[in-house]
A = this chain, B = another copy of it.
Amino acid sequence: MEDSVTHEDARVPPIEGVAGGGTAYGWTDGRVQFSNLSKGSVDPMKVLTSELVHVWSMPSTANVGHQESPRPLEPVSLLAARNERESLQIALRPKVSWGGSGIAGVVHVQGTDLCSGSGDRLFFGKSITIRHVVPILGVPDALVPIDPLTSVRLFPGETTALWISLDIPSSQSPGQYLGEISITAVKPDKILPAQNFGRIERQKIYGELKGCIDLLDPIEGKPLEEVVERVNSVGSSLRRVLLSPAFSELLSDDGWDDVMEEDAISDLSVRVKLNVTVWDFVLPTTPSLPAVFGISDTVIEDRFGVVHGTDEWYEALEHHFKWILQYKISPYFCRWGDSMRVLTYTSPWPANHPKSEECFSDPRLAAYAIPYTNNNAVSCNSVVEGYLRNEIENLRMKSHWKKAYFYLWDEPLNSEQYNSIRTMASEIHAYAPDARVLTTYYCGPNDAPLAPNAFEAFLKVPKFLRPHTQIYCTSEWVLGNREDLVKDIVAELEPENGEEWWTYVCMGPSDPQPNWHLGMRGTQHRAVMWRVWKEGGTGFLYWGANCYEKATFPSAEIRFRRGLPPGDGVLFYPGEVFSSSKEPVASVRLERILSGLQDFEYLKYYSSKYGRDEGLALLEKTGVYLGPERYTLEHMPVDVMRGEIFATCRS
């Protein structure tokens, strides 16, 4: 393309405006410059990919939708601790179409290992992974894995985003690691042979080969001259077949693998340079903040067709358990009963099963839920005699007992529900006086007001429930934008008696406060954990990570539940919806939760060295988080804060 177009790369695409004058393009426009693309069709093997595709990077907190505008391509610098995941996005938008039917074109995405000056490596495909950002309800959210060398289809007028994650092993040597991700436009027919070509071509070859067989078949007993003639005819046929387009690539001397390699990265590729600084801080294996997230067993049973208690069922739950642990989240399985009674359990096996021991003692698990009743219970009344006592006796002497909690009821609303909690908690405490009962709430009992106004009544819940609850887990929604009210909540608790304050988000709070709904800004997703750190809670609960609407087939369409804000209760998706893989597909929101939890560790580390007040000052000074409605909308301050922590804490 000519210069003027190249200089326009960074231009924003069309927007509604009032500048006017858009029609004056004609007589006075000067001479026309022709493209150096050959007129007509584009051969991506002969043209720089940069002439065909806009390529630029975006931070992980950007929501890169199909309408995202191209920006200049700049090298990417990232900071990462050990045992940390850092992510970035690469956006692609076609400048021309070279793809044929309905697509603008196809690109290969490939990367190199990242290498340090001292020869250490972060391996591409292992520490560096690439996923495709797929919109859900039009919002970029699902991260569908792509294999290296897999083609990515680009569509006319659409921006496509790739999510690049770097997972730094705990043992990685600190240092600067350099490498690149390359984007190479390829011929679509190399990847997706057009239907008719494939079929007609094959039919032709088939006919030709069948003719050869017919010529050769009745050869016995024929005179030599005829045989030779027939053989020569067959030879010509076969040579003709080998010259057909189907085999044209194979005629070259190059081996196949070389061709692939050449395809993958060439002088024509766009290279996105990565510069990753790995520093000596190692994020703790056991997350500092217990973040307990619900996974609906019912949804798993229905969608994957696994019957409760079968081998397949245990397998499916274990698969989910292990997968979510990657995100520094401590899962609990859950199902709801009447009046928001809830059955929660982190291990599907009984406490004395070796698998439970493996699960509870996993150092990445920060907290685990023990079921009040057998998880086979189809109703909350089917309590197995002695079950609870056995479970507790099996666990209370273990070193991991300090991670245990009982979560019995989701948001009790009236005296009867509060009484149910008291009854169950009494039984639990009879077997283990030091057991932690967790209760989520956002108000007092509505039929017996604890105070004249709602907030006062909410504040009195600990007094009302004591000693039947140890973890008072309150909705962030209650605070509104009044973070000063935190001190009133905390003042009601008795930490000296083991009482803790945790928080949660669900339907509320809504925009502009931090939450994980679809369509919120990226920093808004990440800010949930900044808020937790600033407010000082010692744990966090989220009600559901897989709570889509009921479906009974693994690849059934994903529907959010009616009445909930989109994305609420859904942090990952069934892999089967997007490909043949059974691996769950994370949302960008889940990645931002992980980033938030990692920021929490950075802030904690910094505060452990310079005091909590300095940590709070840093959060404020950098503009990252000042309050529930005052936090950064842009990414830059986040990197500034992390960079400051790195600069002052590095050894």
Q: Which A residues have a C-beta under 8 Å from some C-beta of B?
A: 1-2, 5, 13-29, 32-35, 37, 39-42, 65-67, 93-98, 100-102, 104, 132, 134-138, 142, 144, 146, 150-151, 153, 155-158, 190-193, 195, 198-199, 202-203, 205-206, 209-210, 212-213, 216-217, 219-220, 224, 227-228, 231-232, 234-235, 238-239, 241-242, 246-247, 250, 256, 296, 298-299, 301-302, 305, 334-338, 340-343, 377-380, 410, 507, 543-544, 547, 549-566, 568-569, 576-580
Contact = CB atoms under 8 A, between A and B. Distances in A.
Given A35-B305, A580-B101, A96 B556 contact: yes
Given A96-B557, A156-B578, A202 B246 contact: yes
B562 A66 contact: no
Given A553-B35, A564-B14, A335 B22 contact: no
A627 to B, nearest CB: 24
A557 B199 contact: no
A40 B554 contact: yes
B101 A543 contact: no
Nearest to A197: B193
A63 B54 CA distance: 29
A336 B553 contact: no
Contacts of A256: 199, 203
A447 to B, nearest CB: 19
Contact of A219 (B39, B231, B336): B231
What is the total number of copies of this protein in its complex? 2
Given A234-B234, A250-B206, A553-B37, A219 B213 contact: no
Contacts of A28: 336-338, 379
Contacts of A203: 250, 256
A87 to B, nearest CB: 20
Contacts of A33: 552
Closest 7 CB pairs of A and B: A14-B560, A26-B335, A19-B563, A22-B561, A26-B336, A97-B555, A27-B337
Given A26-B298, A37-B553, A234-B234, 20 more contacts: A13-B559, A17-B563, A18-B563, A26-B334, A27-B337, A27-B379, A39-B553, A67-B137, A67-B138, A97-B577, A100-B579, A102-B134, A102-B146, A102-B578, A156-B558, A190-B195, A192-B195, A198-B198, A213-B235, A224-B227
16 contacts: A1-B552, A20-B564, A23-B336, A23-B544, A26-B337, A27-B338, A33-B552, A34-B305, A35-B552, A39-B305, A95-B557, A97-B555, A97-B576, A156-B577, A213-B235, A216-B232
Given A203-B256, A336-B25, A577-B97, A235 B209 contact: no
A278 B256 CA distance: 59
A221 to B, nearest CB: 9
Nearest to A156: B577
Nearest to A343: B27
Nearest to A132: B102
A212 to B, nearest CB: 6
A298 B29 contact: yes
A2 B231 CA distance: 59
A209 B241 contact: yes
Nearest to A151: B195
A192 to B, nearest CB: 5
Contact of A220 (B157, B228, B340): B228
A206 B337 contact: no
Given A195-B191, A553-B35, A20 B507 contact: yes
A188 to B, nearest CB: 10
B552 A32 contact: yes
Given A150-B195, A250-B202, A550-B29, A17 B564 contact: yes
Contacts of A553: 1, 35, 37, 39, 42, 96
